[in-house]
Structure 1
Amino acid sequence: MSEESKQYIPLLTGEDNLPTWKSVVRRSFIMNGLWEYLVTDIPEPADPEKLKEWTRDRVQASLILQKSLLNPHIERMLVNNGLDMEEDDPKAIWDLVNQVVPTVTKASMSSLLYEFTRLDRKSFATLFDYINKVQEINKRLKSTGCDLQENVIIAITLWGLKSTYPNDHSFWIRAFETGTLKWAELMKELGRIALDEQIRPTMVSLPAKNTGNPQGSGQNNDKDGGKMKRCTKPGCKF
């Protein structure tokens, strides 16, 4: 197979580009007379000259396939399912890819959906962490071919916020049910809340320094000269 032909075989990344990858491999191998090595078990010929050609073609076909399987996720997936990266039988490689990649991708999709529907804000240190996890799972779901509708993503995301933000959650649900809550708007609002939560701890006032003044000097006193009692009511700053 020529160098020009090799460069058109894309790197397999998962089930999302598996159809494209298979199509390009098929056409490239047909064009170079190697397709039969992927779809049939060609027996080892007895003739020495034909044996050399058979061996060369098998190794070449295997090498081309393996170079397109160097995505770490795909390589690990195949090795875990029994692939020897020095395999010289291209049909064995081809069959394993077509057997394993769709199956593992579907299992991964199921696992991601399970994780997504059980996310809870209270399990994360910050709201930013929760947002990042939601976005990460959605990105990974898309890579498996599972592109959820926006309203489904919003509904699942809101469910994970209910226990921590009950009042906001009620407002968001009303907006969601009337069709006025969009994903971009929700992300903007959550980002604002997350930033507010991040800034709030830094706004705690520092205690006053002891200047060594005589007793009663610089202190708050009531009319009788006694110390004013500190207010302990929620929200009181005195």
Structure 2
Amino acid sequence: MGEISSLINLKGAVNIDNWNRARKCELNCADILEYVTTDVAEPDRATKPEEHKTWRTNRAKAMKIIQTTLKDDKVCNQLSINGWDQDSTDPKYLYDLIRKVIGKVSVQARADIVEEFSSIRRSSFDSMSSFLIRFDLLRKRLEDSKVPIDPLYECITLFNAVKRQYPYDARFWDRKLNEDSLTTAELLAELSVIGNTKTNSTNLTLQVQKTSTATTASTTKTDDKKTSNKDKKTQHKQITCTDCGQSIRDDFKHFPCGHHRNPRTPDCWWYEPEKAHPNWSKKKEAIENKAKTNTGTTAAVGATNTGLATPGSAMIFGNFGFGGNANPFFEDFH
């Protein structure tokens, strides 16, 4: 028993809760917990010698389990100042004294705990695990300090602590809060799951970056050169397409339709010439090619072209510096 007790020594208020749980567990394993939680009556020594011997032995075991953890000088001094009788053989007396003296919290200490509890934020901790441990500790300290906490206030405090780090989940929690259907226990359980599955995305910035990166990766190929942010009027050099071997501009990509264009141009003008810029030099050729492969659509395509060549369209394309020239993002490559 002594070896087990020495694993958690009482260091003061900093670990009084952990110490208390460990002692109760150990005393319960030895089947002598009642010797520190209740007043076990002393059997008559003359008429019940065996029962008296068992009572005396169990008290001694319980006392040993508690005393072997009192190795901190500050803790012992604090107990002595508060009248600790070191010759007492009553384990309940010592156990109650420790909980009363070491666990005693001043008014200022209570105020500090309430302040920290109300302002706790997930962003102040390296991990979800450390945040949840601290939150739970503060809750227990408030309970031990006899500070009443309204369940709704407790749940809102926890929600405020994590809503900025998990904005997408917070929308769901906020709705449940408004419906009075979210509890602290439920929210703690969900945060625990998040802590186990989203350790690398614990704030809004990471979540946004992750979404942005995934979108970009789905529309570009890693083996192609990145598009430059230079002025679109800059002279581009020719490179060989890694997909088909044709000579193309260095800011162009090979698309599934078999043609090449700047990724900033969303549509393939050869495949959908009706969406092409009015000044594209090969627009007519593209329309004719499409008409040959899709008989009967020439008139419709021509009508669509007329609709696109509007002042509004010119203003939109003008923002990209088209002027009266062809789209610099889509050259006459086939």
| TM superposition score normalised by structure 2 | 0.37
Task: Tell which structure's C-alpha radius of gyration is larger.
Answer: 2
- Greater helix content: 1
TM-score by length of 1: 0.47
